[in-house]
Structure 1
Amino acid sequence: MLSDKTKKLTRQAYNGIAEAIPNFARRKEQNFLIAEIAKTLAGEYQKQRRIMVVQAGTGTGKSLAYCLGAIPQALASGRKVCIATATVALQEQLMHKDLPLVQQHGGMSFKFGLAKGRQRYVCLSKLELLSGEAGEEEGQQALWEKKPANADIAILKRLHQAYHHGKWNGEVDSVPEPVPDYLWQQIGSDKHSCNKQLAAHRDCPFHKSRDDMDSWDVLIVNHSLLLADLELGGGKILPEPDSMYYIIDEAHHLPQVTRDFSAASANVKSTSDWLGKLEKSVHKLARELRSDRATNQASELTDDIEAITDGLGQVADFCEANPKLFDNPELRHRFEHGELPEVLITLSTNLKTACNQALKRTTKLQQMLMEAVKDGEIKGFQAEPLVADIGFHMQRLEGLTQLWLMMAKQDSPKGAPLARWIERVEFNQRSDFHVSTSPIEIGFMLEEMLWSKAAGVALLSATLMALGSFDHYRHQVGLRNDDGTRYTALPSPFDYQQSATLYLPKLDIEPQDDRFGDMLIKKIPELLEEETATLVLFTSYRQMEAVADTLRMHKKLPILVQGEKARSELINEHKQRIDDGKVSILFGTSSFSEGLDLPGEYLTNLIITRLPFAVPTSPVEQAHAEYIKSKGGNPFLQLAVPDAAKKLVQSCGRLLRNESDYGRIAILDRRLVTKRYGSSLLDSLPPYRRHIEY
């Protein structure tokens, strides 16, 4: 139950913040949300399952609301708050604006910080080895996947120098110069080669950050780090789930992030090449350990590696013998209903067994190494390259084991099958085959990992409902209507009728028509007349670029196009043009339909060229549609339409960012009027003033 003391503390915090902010608007929607979150987390509605799902419209002030709804209750109950977001922008807002505000004016004493995944920190041991600063030439070469370029070594040397001169803190987000992704993957910290038993690891950037985290009352994380901890059972990276209240903001991203996080893949031929390096590494380690036990483990591991290599060779032979499988534009074969042919089932099962045995033996060798360090048989400085080397191999072997475990898994007839597919790819200038697998539905995973374990959860976003209902989202994340979860939809405080017009001009052509591009070239200039700040959203890069090129050539329009410069540069240039009293036209695709903040005069004219229906080109989307159809459902109505409804709301949400904003939204897709589902999509939008020419 929510105590009187906690209620009083919450009210005092809210009043203190309201007094500190000039012209603070006390919104009933925000007050209601604070109370609902606090009551849910305190167990007033449901003691066993403290979960709520909230759609809070733009302008509700949800970040301040969940801070005030969760933090006082957490402090009173001795728990922590974990705020998970999908974007860096929101993390920065929480770190540098919202939480400092609550801390300074809310009358509560608490600490907070941004927790990052292990891979966001450099491993100093790897950096020294790979840059050659450790003086271990053999260890340096063993860690590289291929011979490094001199330019890469030079970057690592400069990073090493910057860290030890106090000019860099070891985080990827603050590197003093750009570091290519492939290079960072070589020097990033990982769980297998990071060991506090070794002196060089005790003061590394990652462990320093984790020591700080223990003192935080509020943790900010991204969705991926949250899932990384939950996959390990919870409490391994972050505090235990039953000791935390989870606030999952931007929660509409959670299903996709969970699905991506749970997928596995690997190349066939290049993996065989890497296995040769693994074999050399384990025998080198066995020689250093100088024990019969280690030698026996290395010999048995050689047998496992031979079995894996043989199995991968047979997978490659199967692919080479069936070229028609890849005779399509995507060079890909997806197995219908996730069902593998008998030969691949056998190979996958054998590979799963061999990979699992290899991982166990490699883990034992790593344990022997650390025992030898502990017993003084191997000096710490001698162990450094060995630990880094074996850790790198364990990380990769773990991923390979997961892939073949999922490929070999027998799907339950009660649930959706796994999506499984193979692609022909070019890797290191030769033909290879990329094997992948992914879950289709992930609700049961979130139930097992989070909903059933957490002290309390609040999921929030401006776009969780589809077609006026939470049903689609509820199914995606594994919640039910009768499990005690609370669902709340809060309207935006914006006066949509007065602030914005939704304009549907009469058009004769639908987007599927070959003449649609020509129609856009004719119609968009008409919608730009007497307008200063315009954003035009496309669903296709190709169409966006074609329209932009034509309008620049024939109409001499000042168009800024996504992809031609960095996103931040484009936005700054757009704003500068507006500040200078000039016209600015910004062209973007789906990534500009979310997270783009152009308040006030920076955007008054929004043009959406077509409804944001996703083309089911990814194997997972295709498999999901296939599964729905196999159950007698309609993939278009059950997946495509709800998804398009949410994306359309997000796109339209670019126009009004503050209560004083105004403007027009024009949608150039006649299907809103001509198709049966069109009225449902229109009704899912905020109540704009409508001007429909049909």
Structure 2
Amino acid sequence: MALAVADSLLSGRNLAIEAPTGVGKSFAYLVPAILFSRLARRPAVISTETINLQEQLIRKDLPLLRQLLDLDFRAALAKGRGNYLCRRRLALAAGEHRDHYLPHPALAGEIDQIGRWAERSGDGDCDEADFHIGGDSWSYVCCEAGNCSFPKCNYRRECFYRRAREEWERADVIVANHALFFTDLKMQIESDSRDGGLLPLYGAAVIDEAHTLEDSAADHLGLYLTYGGFNAFLNRLYNPDSARGLLLRKGGDVLELRAMTAELKAAGKHFFAQFEDYLDRADESIRAVDQPGGFPNTLNERLLAFRARLGDYVQEQEDPDYKSELEAQLLRCDGYIDGIAAFIDMTLPESVYWVERDSRQLILQAAPLNVAEILRRELFGRDFPVVTTSATLTVDRQFRYFAERTGFGGGSEVRLDSPFDPDQVQLHLARSMPDPALPEYEEALFRALEHYLELSDGKAFVLFTSYALLRRAADALEAFLGARGIRLLIQGNELSRSAMLREFKADIRSVIFGTDSFWTGVDVPGEALSNVIITKLPFAVPSHPLIAARCDRIKALGGNPFFDYSLPEAVLKFRQGAGRLIRSRSDSGMIVVLDSRIVAKRYGRMFLHSLPDYPRTIA
């Protein structure tokens, strides 16, 4: 793998390489990337989907390589601006005008705690704090776009974010995440300049965990607006409920702006209520928006008038810190004016639009459907090589689907075999199970779970595609497992995902019932995980507007949505779930598939052929 990556970097050609667990893929791309960056005199950017992999690269892999290579290279961790503390904003939040600055008195205690942490912090990174920082309080002290007075800032020599940016500039290897990487790419596209983004001008990119490439790009190249965010923007300026905010200073101008802010809050409630009603009429929590202009933009004129008046007020300010805070709110106002208009008029090209209500807030969202075209032009068609890698890039052992969905091209494809012995795994296929669409499936599933969990004495992940089914299964099996001294950890109960994993590793007979987030990115080597049970083949819900729109686009282009999208996506997720079991040469166990379609349907062979040649038991 290292030779393939090195050849790609030196030739300037792109590379897609599937590297199963155990290959050592991080070393295989880091060594060539380090050497190439020194040769090209430009940094190599490594982008990952998960924080866990970022931290592994920065804290473990790169320091070890520095010793082994006996080479003095620089590596830096790149995070978005909002991860870093702003000392100037902290001084405002903790100073004599905190009543003006903070919208809620309750935030003051946590701001003081952040202030004490800032004195001992070396990098101001909120993820490194030794206590939990609430999102509300952090938003008033973090670095944010449009709210930086550098180089005139009194705290410029102590600025955490500037120090981090300087480390990026000096680095040979920059480790970023997909969110920052694609935010940077979007800025490059919008500015029509390679150096128009956040990251330094890099000479090569390595995208690890590239199986999420299409979705990560769609998330960050689209549109995302929330009612909660709109209210927070207005509360920052003036919160009529608590009589706090930036506009609490004296003067006739601010009285007028406060009144306009209160009117905007009422107008915003009315504006977003039409989308709540849109969901309620269909009794849905998520619903596509199909026609431009289908909802009146009742906020546009008010926002434009408010923006003009606020802009005049900002120009009159002499206090640079106060002015900087207000200028940041002007940028946010511009973002809402443009974003709401783009959503209502559906002006983003080749995109799907939808309204969603989660447990916390209402969301207006849009995502591009032509991700492959965008990435083919703006990523894989640039003047630097791009290496994409993951343990799961191929479907039916071919790269065709990956290339079609991501626009990959201009290079070569390499698929590596697993270094593990297939005999480490016993694959159990349940031919006798009823089809999941039949009403008798659930009862048969519960009996099968009892059998296989007793067979492995717990030590299992049970992966579900539906939280409702997970809950029913938990209710049905809790007494059975409890009677055998097997602890059941249920996703969605009081423990977080990371806490569940800690408990699972500590109690090796325990069992996790998990949904989406447990199919990927979970690493439990050793005896604690000896059994992975897949309850259903993980076909995505076709009613989600993004999935439905992708399928409609495929059909319009003459394709088959099931075979060209739904099936390959399910195969990739199936491979991710099955891949949780074997993480080292000493691991062993069973993979159980309780969906008879894997043997009863012709397409089942695609799932099986995408796995290593494990010994099979069909019952």
Taking structure 1 as the reference length, the TM-score comes to 0.77
> What is aligned with 2:96?
135
1:602 aligned counterpart, secondary structure = coil
Question: Are positions 1:62 and 2:28 aligned together?
Answer: no
Matches within 5 A, 1:194-273: 194-196=148-150, 197-233=152-188, 234-236=194-196, 238-241=198-201, 243-266=202-225, 271=230
2:139 aligned counterpart, secondary structure = helix
Give distance in 2, aligned partners of 1:272 and 1:68.
48
Select 1:395's aligned residue among 317, 321, 332: 332
Give distance in 1, aligned partners of 2:173 and 2:311.
35
Question: Are positions 1:97 and 2:60 aligned together?
Answer: yes
Give distance in 1, aligned partners of 2:520 and 2:228.
39
Report which of the two structures shows the higher radius of gyration computed on alpha carbons.
1
Question: How many angstroms does 1:318 deviate by?
Answer: 6.7
Question: Are positions 1:34 and 2:6 aligned together?
Answer: no
> What is aligned with 1:544?
470
> What is aligned with 1:560?
488
Question: How many angstroms does 1:315 deviate by?
Answer: 5.6
Give distance in 2, aligned partners of 1:688 and 1:269.
49
> What is aligned with 1:3?
none
Give distance in 1, aligned partners of 2:3 and 2:24.
14
Give distance in 2, aligned partners of 1:669 and 1:514.
14
Give distance in 2, aligned partners of 1:90 and 1:313.
41
Give distance in 1, aligned partners of 2:179 and 2:568.
24
Select 1:638's aligned residue among 556, 560, 564: 564
* Residues 576 and 113 of structure 1: CA distance in aligned 2, closer, same or farther (over 3 Å): same
Give distance in 1, aligned partners of 2:470 and 2:355.
31
Give distance in 1, aligned partners of 2:164 and 2:592.
48
> What is aligned with 2:242?
none
1:600 aligned counterpart, secondary structure = coil
Q: Decide whether the 8 Å contact of 1:122 with 1:171 is kept in 2.
A: yes
2:389 aligned counterpart, secondary structure = strand
1:173 aligned counterpart, secondary structure = helix
Q: Decide whether the 8 Å contact of 1:55 with 1:464 is kept in 2.
A: yes
Give distance in 2, aligned partners of 1:643 and 1:501.
24
Question: How many angstroms does 1:470 deviate by?
Answer: 1.6
Amino acid of the residue matched to residue 127 of structure 1?
Answer: L
* Residues 408 and 358 of structure 1: CA distance in aligned 2, closer, same or farther (over 3 Å): farther
Question: How many angstroms does 1:424 deviate by?
Answer: 7.3
The one-character-per-residue Cα deviations of 1:248-272 (angstroms, maximum 9, x if unpaired) are 1011112111111123243579848
* Residues 387 and 489 of structure 1: CA distance in aligned 2, closer, same or farther (over 3 Å): same
Question: Are positions 1:500 and 2:500 aligned together?
Answer: no
Select 1:689's aligned residue among 611, 615, 618: 615
Amino acid of the residue matched to residue 263 of structure 1?
Answer: G
Runs of 5+ consecutive residues of structure 2 not aligned to the other structure = 189-193, 240-244
Question: How many angstroms does 1:94 deviate by?
Answer: 0.8
Amino acid of the residue matched to residue 420 of structure 2?
Answer: F
Give distance in 2, aligned partners of 1:598 and 1:174.
24
Count of residues in correspondence between the two structures: 603
Question: Are positions 1:329 and 2:283 aligned together?
Answer: yes
Question: Are positions 1:404 and 2:367 aligned together?
Answer: no
Question: How many angstroms does 1:676 deviate by?
Answer: 2.2
Give distance in 2, aligned partners of 1:277 and 1:552.
47
Q: Decide whether the 8 Å contact of 1:268 with 1:315 is kept in 2.
A: no
Give distance in 2, aligned partners of 1:106 and 1:270.
48
Give distance in 1, aligned partners of 2:523 and 2:468.
25
* Residues 395 and 500 of structure 1: CA distance in aligned 2, closer, same or farther (over 3 Å): same
Amino acid of the residue matched to residue 94 of structure 1?
Answer: L
Please give the root-mean-square deviation of Cα atoms over the aligned residues, in Å: 3.7
Select 1:479's aligned residue among 401, 404, 408: 408
Give distance in 2, aligned partners of 1:626 and 1:276.
41
The one-character-per-residue Cα deviations of 1:218-267 (angstroms, maximum 9, x if unpaired) are 111111111122222143554444x3211110111121111111232435
Q: Decide whether the 8 Å contact of 1:607 with 1:666 is kept in 2.
A: yes
* Residues 612 and 559 of structure 1: CA distance in aligned 2, closer, same or farther (over 3 Å): farther
Question: How many angstroms does 1:211 deviate by?
Answer: 2.2
1:438 aligned counterpart, secondary structure = strand
Q: Decide whether the 8 Å contact of 2:353 with 2:367 is kept in 1.
A: yes
Question: Are positions 1:122 and 2:56 aligned together?
Answer: no
Q: Decide whether the 8 Å contact of 2:507 with 2:528 is kept in 1.
A: no
> What is aligned with 1:74?
37
> What is aligned with 1:19?
none
> What is aligned with 1:179?
133
> What is aligned with 2:384?
455
1:561 aligned counterpart, secondary structure = strand
The one-character-per-residue Cα deviations of 1:350-386 (angstroms, maximum 9, x if unpaired) are 94x99789879978986x58xx8xxxxx4xxx32133
1:599 aligned counterpart, secondary structure = coil
Q: Decide whether the 8 Å contact of 1:111 with 1:217 is kept in 2.
A: yes
Q: Decide whether the 8 Å contact of 2:462 with 2:534 is kept in 1.
A: yes
Question: How many angstroms does 1:198 deviate by?
Answer: 1.8
1:126 aligned counterpart, secondary structure = helix
Give distance in 2, aligned partners of 1:361 and 1:328.
40
Q: Which moved more, 1:189-198 or 1:268-277?
A: 268-277
2:590 aligned counterpart, secondary structure = strand
Question: How many angstroms does 1:591 deviate by?
Answer: 1.4
The one-character-per-residue Cα deviations of 1:186-224 (angstroms, maximum 9, x if unpaired) are 322112111212213442221222222222111111111
